[in-house]
């Protein structure tokens, strides 16, 4: 999480929200809903129902507020060229370490 709080999944601007995201929270800049699938760390377009969690029903509009119990803010950073998720998995750390010793 950056010092300015959660970054908007839509426009990438800081929202000032630190801690829990309420269902009614939206971005002051672009008015995008923040507690939605697109703003969740489990959002994965290639998975069933576009979610890493096992959910029973599809949430049709991934950009609107919903009542999903699995919602967790995604950690994201703004970088030149767009917004990137911080996916610090064991494999990515190992690859970064191994890359240090490539000739």
The residue ranges of every structural domain in the chain are 1-103
Q: Which pLDDT value is given to residue 1?
A: 42
The candidate with the shortest Cα–Cα distance to 42, out of 9, 12, 19, is: 9
Judge whether 86 and 77 are in contact, CB under 8 Å.
Answer: yes
Q: Which pLDDT value is given to residue 3?
A: 58
Question: pLDDT truncated to tens, each residue of the chain (103 aa)?
Answer: 445 678 888 888 888 888 888 999 999 999 999 999 998 989 988 999 999 999 999 999 999 999 999 998 887 655 555 555 554 556 766 777 787 887 6
pTM (two decimals):
0.68
Can you tell me the distance from the alpha carbon of 97 to that of 103, in angstroms, rounded to the nearest whole number?
Answer: 13
């Amino acid at each position: 999480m950056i010092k300015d709080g959660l970054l908007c999944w839509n426009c990438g601007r800081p929202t000032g929200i630190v801690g829990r995201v309420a269902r009614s929270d939206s971005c002051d800049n672009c008015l995008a809903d923040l507690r939605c699938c697109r703003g969740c760390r489990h959002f994965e377009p290639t998975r069933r129902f576009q979610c890493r969690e096992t959910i029973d029903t599809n949430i049709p509009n991934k950009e609107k507020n919903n009542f999903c119990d699995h919602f967790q803010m995604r950690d994201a950073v703004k970088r030149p060229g767009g917004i990137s998720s911080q996916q610090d998995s064991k494999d990515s750390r190992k690859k970064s370490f191994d890359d240090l010793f490539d000739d």
